[in-house]
Chains A and B, each alone.
Chain A
Amino acid sequence: MPMEHVDGEDKGKIVLFALSTCQWCRKTRLLLEELKVDFSYIYVDLLEGEERSEIIEEVKKYNPQLSFPTLVLDDGDVIVGFNEEGIREALA
């Protein structure tokens, strides 16, 4: 899986499913960087073929509406959209 990784404080496995063209996804990524947590992210719009289908099915498991950003936290919590307060609280 072509995940990008950002080093930071270990708060468990954090994965951000995002679009490269979306400003709310960008804000979410920047917030995670600001919070200095360890996380991985993937731009789903840049994927092709089987890889794309696989990731889409994975995102739909967490968020059936397939909207972005979809942030999956270690404890299985899912935060959909740029919910700054929710993300800060969850990773405090």
Chain B
Amino acid sequence: MSQTDDARVDEFYERLKEQVEEAGYHLNSDVEFTKALLESILVNEDRYGYGACPCRLASGIKEEDLDIICPCYYRDPDLEEYDACYCGLYVSGDILSGEKQLTAIPERRPAPDERIVRSEDETGTLGLESISNLPLPVWRCGVCGYLCAREGPPEICPICKVGKERFERFI
């Protein structure tokens, strides 16, 4: 890796660490491991145009990979169940404090044949007729679960900072 790349990874690491700590998450404290993952996310950003999960095979089609753009939709359930995300980039407080050990965890993402790709006009299909007369739709951030009632999703999630394409209509 060149000096420039090193600097790019360092800058990404510092920025992300501050941002996730602020939101109550923790990056893996094994800095070498973590920076290797971040470097791979940057590789994927250059390769696909979006920072796909380094531990999953990206399709190159953003709409099909919205669930695995880091941070992925599986991070929070994996932190909850296994104390780490699939890559080991994000860890729980217990792993950070050394109370638990980081291990590889099973893949939660559905198999290719079982994946549901949502198209943009296919939102709000929850069939909640009884509350369909709410004055505004409710949008859910796929990464952190943040909900907001407004005409459209926010440009950037105010909680976890992901872009509006990661929101789905919830109600």
Interface of A toward B, CB cutoff 8 Å: 19, 21-27, 44-45, 56, 60, 64-68, 80-83
Which residues of the other chain, A, contact B36 by a CB distance below 8 angstroms?
23, 26
Q: Report whether B107 and A19 are in contact in the complex, using a CB–CB cutoff of 8 Å.
A: no
- Which chain B residues numbered 55 to 86 have a C-beta less than 8 Å away from chain A? 55-58
CA–CA, A23 and B31, complex, Å: 13
Is B19 located at the chain interface by the 8 A CB criterion? no
Q: Report whether B111 and A19 are in contact in the complex, using a CB–CB cutoff of 8 Å.
A: no
Knowing A66-B112, A67-B56, A68-B56, say if A21 contacts B104 (CB, 8 Å). Answer: no
A82 to chain B, nearest CB (A): 4
Interface residue from A23, A56, A67, A82 paired with B54 (Cβ < 8 Å): A23
Which of A21, A26, A67 lies at the interface centre, i.e. has the most chain B CB atoms within 10 A of its CB? A21
A17 to chain B, nearest CB (A): 10
Contact with A along B105-119 (1 / 0, CB 8 A): 111011111000000
Say which one of B5-13, B37-45, B121-129 lies at the interface with A: B37-45
Q: Report whether A23 and B87 are in contact in the complex, using a CB–CB cutoff of 8 Å.
A: yes
The 5 closest A-B pairs by CB, nearest first: A21-B40, A21-B54, A67-B107, A82-B104, A22-B55
Is B146 located at the chain interface by the 8 A CB criterion? no
Is B142 located at the chain interface by the 8 A CB criterion? no
Which residues of the other chain, B, contact A60 by a CB distance below 8 angstroms?
112
Which of A44, A45, A66, A80 lies at the interface centre, i.e. has the most chain B CB atoms within 10 A of its CB? A45
Knowing A23-B33, A23-B87, A24-B88, say if A81 contacts B54 (CB, 8 Å). Answer: no
Q: Report whether B104 and A19 are in contact in the complex, using a CB–CB cutoff of 8 Å.
A: no
CA–CA, A67 and B39, complex, Å: 20
